Amino acid sequence: MGLVKRNDQSPPRTGMEVFMMLPEGTLAELINDTVFMSPAPDFLHQTISLELAVQISNHSKKNNLGVCVTAPMDVFFDGKNVLQPDLLFIATDNLGIIKDGKIKGSPDLIVEILSPGNKRHDTEKKKAIYEKFGVKEYFIVDPETKEIITWYLTKEKYVKQPGVKAKLKSKLLRKTFSF
């Protein structure tokens, strides 16, 4: 098996170079310079994602708070970390992280919805990156149990909050969203 070459250039040497060669729409993330790929999410996952996205988007538009975006959307944290959160929110005063149609910096709020086989990926690997890069609120939704793990950033560290089934309570958006 040979390496794929880029326009007669040398083979890719970094995870970012490999990541940037992937076709648009590929469900892939770069975590600590390693590319991770995943299949499309299942129906329940997408139903919850849509329900939360509609509520958050409508609330943020009505109150001029910012914008809500759903996956797939690459978020470039640095040269070794590009993630595709299921749902993200960028506050109005942080919209400057959108550059040339890409998100280059930390969204204010991220929601990840667990899929079979990705629990550790979302609860450990991605959580560590979101914390490191200052995502203010991080929510992990288990679609089977409807449990929500809530993390608020306090003094550059995540503090876990008591979970409530099927209710996402955002301090940032000053609202609780249900599904």
pLDDT at 117: 75
CA quadruple 162, 133, 104, 38: dihedral sign: negative
CA distances to 49, 138, 140, 147 from 178, rounded to whole Å, are 11, 16, 14, 12
- In the chain, which stretches have pLDDT less than 70? 1-9
In the predicted model, what is the mean pLDDT of the chain? 93
pLDDT at 47: 97
pLDDT at 8: 55
pLDDT at 78: 98
Q: Tell whether omega for the bond before 72 is within 30 degrees of 0, i.e. cis.
A: yes
Q: 72-116 pLDDT, tens per residue? A: 999 999 999 999 999 999 999 999 999 999 999 999 999 999 988
pLDDT at 1: 37
DSSP strand pairing (167-170 vs 175-178): antiparallel
